[in-house]
């Protein structure tokens, strides 16, 4: 076996060990989240009551949204799914650090420094997106849609699965959307993107943002569209400032 082949297999073995460590930590975190069922679902189900912090800050009227279960195994599998996602979220700093530790030896010092900054910024922005979804986008969307009635004779019956799927979907999407400033800053460093281009196509970007928000939102109502589109537009404006800064350095 040549030195090149040995090096390749050694790297492959290191990657396998790295992934196994990540899976083990995610699994342990998921088991811990599963065991702490009451605490976990106190957090997950908090936005369905007017006691949630966002509603109190907005001085919202008192309300409580009841959830229903329609399948025999739905609650158990929902518990498992939420615990898995919670475990992944809790273990994510360790996972990111392990993956960076695997890649870092192959980089030069300058490249390693840039990768650390970019990776850290990308992870931080993703987490900010998740928190924005949990504290702003999802609660406002939930309250509006779950309490909206075309007639007092028509009652809303929200299922547990619908609630959880919407929460997870919006959290993932907002986490990805919040990567926009990081991507724009990278493109600026590569001399692909500049502030003049983003400012010139601002109107086009607004239309694209509205279209993207319409695709992202779980319903077609204008309120949810606005709640999702506004943070994306603000991120676009922040990206222009970051691109301007990058181009000046």
**pTM as predicted:** 0.83
Residue with the larger pLDDT of the pair 95 and 59: 95
Q: How far apart are the first and last CA of the chain?
A: 48
Highest mean pLDDT among 13-17, 147-151, 192-196: 13-17
What single string gives the DSSP state of each residue in 50-117? Answer: TTSHHHHHTTPPP-B--EE--SSSHHHHHHHHHHHHHHHHHHHHHHHHHHHHHHGGGS-HHHHHHHHH
Gap between the Cα atoms of 27 and 86, Å rounded: 10
Using DSSP's 3-state secondary structure scheme, residue 130 falls into helix
Gap between the Cα atoms of 206 and 196, Å rounded: 16
Phi, psi of 137, rounded to the nearest 5 degrees = -65, -55
pLDDT digits (tens, 9 = 90+) for 121-173: 999 999 999 999 999 889 988 888 887 778 888 888 889 999 999 899 889 98
> Do 33 and 92 form a contact (C-beta atoms < 8 A)?
no
Q: Is the dihedral of CA 168, 170, 171, 175 positive or negative?
A: positive
């Amino acid at each position: 076996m040549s030195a090149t082949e040995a090096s390749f297999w050694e790297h492959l073995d290191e990657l396998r060990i790295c992934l196994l460590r990540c899976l083990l930590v995610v699994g342990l975190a998921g088991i811990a989240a599963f065991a702490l069922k009451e605490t976990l679902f106190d957090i997950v189900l908090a936005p369905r009551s007017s006691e949630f912090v966002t509603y109190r800050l907005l001085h919202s009227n008192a309300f409580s949204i009841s959830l229903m279960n329609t399948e025999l195994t739905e609650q158990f599998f929902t518990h498992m799914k939420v615990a898995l996602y919670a475990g992944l979220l809790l273990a994510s700093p360790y996972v990111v650090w392990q993956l960076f530790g695997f890649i870092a030896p192959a980089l030069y010092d300058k490249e390693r420094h840039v990768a650390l900054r970019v990776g850290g910024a990308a992870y931080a922005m993703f987490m900010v997106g998740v928190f924005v979804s949990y504290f702003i986008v999802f609660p406002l969307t939930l309250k509006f849609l779950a309490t909206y009635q075309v007639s007092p004779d028509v009652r809303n019956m929200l299922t547990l699965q619908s609630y959880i799927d919407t929460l997870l979907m919006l959290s993932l999407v907002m986490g990805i959307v919040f990567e926009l400033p990081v991507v724009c800053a990278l493109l600026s460093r590569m001399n692909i993107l500049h502030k003049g281009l983003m400012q010139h196509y601002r109107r086009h970007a607004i239309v694209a943002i509205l279209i993207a928000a319409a695709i992202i939102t779980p319903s077609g109502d204008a309120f949810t569209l606005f709640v999702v589109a506004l943070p994306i537009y603000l991120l676009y404006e922040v990206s222009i400032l970051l691109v301007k800064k990058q181009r000046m350095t």
